[in-house]
Chain A
């Protein structure tokens, strides 16, 4: 099924020219009665097979919406107003719903933040995985169950065969998240989008999940987009990082590069406050608050909070390459540290 929709790209060759997932100039808007409000503007991101890209930003920055847009799961009234999302080169925007559904879960998967509310409480976990398999593959229920058990075992659920018949509320948070991962990866998708999957878990459990995802990435050669507001976590995982603020990407760089030499003032502020904060979370040491969609400044959206504001910041800046990164700023911080 997937094969007639997507080019036959072997998953485990990281140097292919075709990105596993490519987002170009994505714009997502909320359609109000009279006018629409932009929620995400001009977001471009490419993820190569086997690569992990971290997507960082505060709540309201538009990162979850970007992810949902890729999956075609935007809520009612929210639409992709412009731009494209390509999966292995095939455009998903405007694709027929049936075809898109066929790709979801089999070629591109997503896992979510709260494993308690994200699993059907009335369905056994085994059946939830089997259901996913049967939705996309023409196999017998018995074969699907075998696959499900193997996968549950692989993600670290002890006594997988028995536990197939268990319900979500019988598991701990970490285990539930593993079940979610199992269901999301059972069909070996090319792209996995992880929307803050460990935010609701304690640090130790979190480490386990991260390790699991890294292993699976290696085995399956899949591309991963990991969304988080936790810079420390991103630092453990990502190859490249995109920083989002107020609905747009403000900086994109290799992971080490970003941490050593943040260019956008916002990124610098994030890293700074992460260093000061206890768990690497954002503590709003950047003065001021994020404006809500619809109330963004006309020029640079970060200008009202920026300490490096100069003349020219009332023009909306473009995302421009700088060294090996891209920045959306006319007065970025350079290699020499402060100025």
Chain B
């Protein structure tokens, strides 16, 4: 329990630092912020300055930061410089799409990855095992945006089996989710399999068998519990990758989530949106890492002592 609290506390500190860094980077020069609103070269300088002053852009950075943070904590996330919509609304519109996509990919990764990894380990050497491993290696070799485009080409353009983009129906979700899950799934299967096999011939497994413990308990209780540790550690890494790739996949499949919003906001120089969305994603990543560590500590008691380094 104490471990969980300290870990979360540390995560909050990191989130704070992250927000500072992001804010500083994006607001480094007020000129760049307003260039999306006013055409700086043609507007008279006095108008520009007046605008800056009224929007608090001439205040020292820490003050601006304070305004921003207090706004966030009261629910005011600013306004889009391009569309004039409240950023909070933009977030609300797109966050569920991203959650759906990322969530589906997550489910596919672990829901399929762990059982298949265990199955491959338990049937080691069989054709099933070999097929799984070959597929995993093959998938890992292809960068996921290439995979995405190839999938669109084959399945949408030539075979007309699945739609190429949009988010209208369930079938729109299939390709993006599968492509997104492809790489983490492959890694999960591999790691799960290797870890499981290693633990099947571990010393403690031999001891358990020497005591006459039934094989099903040895395998499904003891070995699995020990083998899952590395997969959880990998999972933490994967969540981060998953979120990052979601950006890419959303754009490719025109999936209206946070990713497309974020990329568009950067290209349109809509800083307020960029800032909030970036922070949102970064916060989720940091929290995910903290939760992953806590989950690991529940499974492997040694982690609680060493603070995350078994």
> Which residues in A have some Cβ–Cβ distance to B below 8 Å?
71, 73, 75, 101-106, 109-110, 112, 114, 117-123, 131-132, 135-136, 167, 169, 180, 183-184
Contacts and interface: CB of A to CB of B under 8 A. Distances in A.
Given A104-B212, A131-B213, A136-B212, A119 B207 contact: yes
A105 B299 contact: no
Nearest to B211: A105
Interface string B203-242: 1101111111111010000100110000000000000000
B226 to A, nearest CB: 6
A101 B301 contact: no
Given A120-B225, A121-B302, A169-B305, 19 more contacts: A75-B201, A101-B209, A101-B215, A102-B212, A103-B212, A104-B212, A105-B213, A106-B212, A112-B207, A121-B300, A121-B301, A122-B222, A122-B299, A122-B300, A131-B211, A135-B214, A167-B301, A180-B207, A183-B211
A71 B202 contact: no
Contact of B301 (A112, A132, A169): A169
Contacts of B301: 121-122, 167, 169
Interface of B: 201-204, 206-215, 217, 222, 225-226, 299-302, 305
Contacts of A167: 301-302
A109 B302 contact: no
Nearest to B205: A120
* From B203, B209, B212, B214, residue with most partner A Cβ within 10 Å: B212
Contacts of A120: 204, 207-208, 222, 225-226
A224 to B, nearest CB: 15
Contacts of B202: 117
B210 A104 contact: yes
A73 B210 contact: yes
Given A123-B222, A131-B217, A167-B301, A117 B203 contact: yes
Contacts of A103: 212
B210 A109 contact: yes
A135 B207 CA distance: 14
Contact of A73 (B206, B213, B217): B206
Nearest to B226: A122
A73 B302 CA distance: 29
A121 B226 CA distance: 8
